[in-house]
Amino acid sequence: MDAQRALLDELMGSARNLTEEEKRGYKEVRWDDKEVCAFYMVRFCPHDLFVNTRSDLGPCPRIHDLKLKESFESSPRHDAYVPKFEAELVHFCEKLVMDLDRRVRRGRERLAQDAEPVTPAPLSTEKSEQLSVLEEKIKNLLEQVEALGESGKVDEAEALMRKVEVLNLEKTTLTQPTQSEKVLMLAQEKKMALCEICGSFLVANDAAERVQSHITGKQHIGYGMVRDFIAEYKAAKEKKREEERLVREKEAEERRKSKDKEFDGQRSELRDRGRFVELRQCDLPFIIDKEERLR
Ligand SMILES: [Zn+2]
Ligand SMILES: [Zn+2]
Q: Does pLDDT of 65 surpass 70?
A: yes
How far is the C-alpha of 195 from the C-alpha of 279, rounded, in Å?
85
Task: Tell me the per-residue pLDDT of 113-136, one tens digit each, with 9 for 90 and over.
Answer: 776 555 556 677 888 888 899 899
3-state secondary structure of 264: helix
Between helix 218-278 and helix 208-215 the angle, nearest 10°, is: 60
Instruction: Answer for the pair 225, 197: CB distance below 8 angstroms, yes or no.
Output: no
Q: Which ligand is nearest to the CA of 211?
A: 2
Calculate how far, in angstroms, residue 36's C-alpha sits from the geometric centre of ligand 1.
8
Give CA–CA dist 224/198, Å, rounded. Answer: 7
Q: How far is the CA of 199 from the centre of ligand 1 (A)?
A: 23
pLDDT confidence of 21, banded at 50, 70, 90?
low
CA 222/CA 199 separation, integer angstroms: 12
Ligand nearest, relative to CA of residue 36: 1
What pLDDT shows up at residue 104? 86
Is 60 exceeded by the pLDDT of residue 179?
A: yes
Average pLDDT, the chain: 82
More confident: 37 or 17 = 37
Q: Residue 82: is it exposed, middle or buried by C-beta count within 10 angstroms (0-12/13-18/19+)?
A: middle
% pLDDT > 70, the chain: 75
Ligand nearest to the CA of 35: 1
Query: Considering every ligand atom, which ligand is closest to the CA of 47?
Result: 1
